[in-house]
Amino acid sequence: MKDSRIAARGLVLLGCGKMGSAMLAGWLDRGLPAASVWVQDPAPSLWVHGSGVHVNADLPSDPAVILIAVKPQMMGDALPAIAAFGGGDTVFVSVAAGTPLSAFEDAFGPASPIVRAMPNTPAAVGRGITAICANAAGQGALDEAEMLLSAVGDVVRLEGEHQMDAVTGVSGSGPAYVFHLIETLAAGGVAQGLPEDLAMQLAKATVAGAGHLAMEAEEDPAQLRVNVTSPNGTTQAALEVLMDEKSGFPNLLPRAVKAASERSKELADG
């Protein structure tokens, strides 16, 4: 990871739970010097102590980046502790759900470059996708934020913060929808006579493999579905249930995304 600003001035990671430690591991794997990183967390992941980074030590006087990875309910205590770094060219990157750019501008000042990011939980295994946007002062910081966040998966840029609630509904909350699909797919196998462990193994591998194929194939998912659906075959029989306009996926999933998006907006509005 080549970033002379960070190497010279340092990066502060505020919060080092699952998401924070996944990002830290990605940065170190990509060559970011451990001595350039300061971690602030009362109970960071255990491996962090032996990684060479500064743990709960005095912060550098003018860090290049402060990445905020604390839980939203801890934001009230965390932001005042770093407010003194606002007003300069320190870039603030937040991966905290439900906290809008305006909240950070209130804490650090509107002249501070601020990037808001929405990763999802597969970032913990380097297979996430993160959506980012920035305030007016932070538009020039998007390249640096994308470089940092790409350590845990793909990164996309939004037109503006107004799209963040929809992102929350699709990719932020989306892994839970897929986990529930795995649960219920395995339950269907058990109902048809499979042992629980075998049904779960089949369901996990099927969802993981189909997702990988969807990412790698030139065809879009609709065509991939057609490719595996023989006329009057077993897959068509199942899809007639799943694609029912009233009770199937075309009705259920848009409703789920809408519910998550609306709740995201409610949380941001306080």
Please state the residue numbers annotated as binding site for NADP(+): 14-19, 69-72
Binding-site residues = 14-19, 56, 69-72
Binding-site residues for NADPH = 56
What string of DSSP letters covers the chain? ---HHHHHH-EEEE--SHHHHHHHHHHHHTT--GGGEEEE-SS--GGGGGTTSEESPPPPSS-SEEEE-S-GGGHHHHHHHHGGGTTSSPEEEE--TT--HHHHHHHH-TTS-EEEEE--GGGGGT-EEEEEEE-GGGGGGHHHHHHHHGGGEEEEE-S-GGGHHHHIIIIISHHHHHHHHHHHHHHHHHHTT--HHHHHHHHHHHHHHHHHHHHH-SS-HHHHHHHT--TTSHHHHHHHHHT-TTTSHHHHHHHHHHHHHHHHHHHHH-
